Amino acid sequence: GHSAALIPAAGSGTRLGRGPKAFVEVAGQSLLARSVQALAPHVDEVVVALPPGTELPPGLPARAIVGGETRQESVRRLLQATRAERVLVHDAARPFLPEQVVHALLEALVDTGAATVALPVADTLVRAGTGIPGLDSGCWGELVPREDLWAVQTPQGFARSVLLAAHDRARAEGYAATDDAGLVARQGGRVRLVPGDARLFKVTAPGDLALAEALATAWDR
């Protein structure tokens, strides 16, 4: 059936400090352009949520709507702007999206109607010592076993009806989540985990831009 890529790009990029983040360029191409171009070949349409008062740069194979106050609200508006049966939701702030990851996600989505890309955690994890007598938040509290722990990325894929129902209910109940798979899972939906890629990191803080510039040299070759 019909499929759409939905790209929340309406954030203000406060932590990066360079204005609306989607328009920030890495090696001459905006984060938005990179995300749109990575998804366009795999879907029937691309819809982007932009900050109020901004416009889609010319030449991108997408159409734009105005985003909301929160990421969740931007995605809800994106869902209302398409009739596609399947949707892939992807942060504009994750500009390096390998093609194989998109294929794996589309495949995983068939079973459950909900799947997300995620990375098995590689580092040792520790909870800081708040609440432990004699320790504070700057101290090693207790080890958190990392087996079975995944760091969630985007893209995330859904049957549109599944995600729309999750958003409607979250809105009615006043519940907020940082991502869409989290909304679906919280309401009892099964979400498949698809191995992601370190290159899918989210450009969030100024240091991430240096990393992105370095990666772009190899990526754009």
Q: Which residues bind ligand CTP (CB under 6 A)?
A: 8-15, 21-22, 49, 67-71, 74, 91-93, 202, 204
Site size for Mg ion, by CB under 5 A?
1
State in angstroms the smallest separation of the CB of 8 from ligand CTP.
3
- Specify the pairing of strand 140-144 against strand 125-128: antiparallel
Report in angstroms the alpha-carbon separations of 195 from 1, 96, 106, 119.
Answer: 25, 15, 13, 6
Q: Which residue is nearest to ligand CTP (CB)?
A: 11
State in angstroms the smallest separation of the CB of 202 from ligand CTP.
5
State in angstroms the smallest separation of the CB of 13 from Mg ion.
8
Among 22, 84, 70, 34, which Cα is nearest to 219's?
34
92 binds, among Mg ion, ligand CTP, none (CB under 5 to 8 A by kind): ligand CTP
113 binds, among ligand CTP, Mg ion, none (CB under 5 to 8 A by kind): none
Q: Taking a C-beta distance cutoff of 8 angstroms, is the pair 191, 112 a contact?
A: yes
Residue 153's contacts (CB-CB under 8 Å, 6 or more residues apart) are: 94, 116, 117, 118, 119, 196, 197, 200, 201, 202
* Token digits of residue 202: 């989210």
- Comparing CB distances to Mg ion, the nearer of 106 and 179 is 179
State in angstroms the smallest separation of the CB of 178 from Mg ion.
9
Chain residues that interact with Mg ion, rule: CB under 5 A? 11
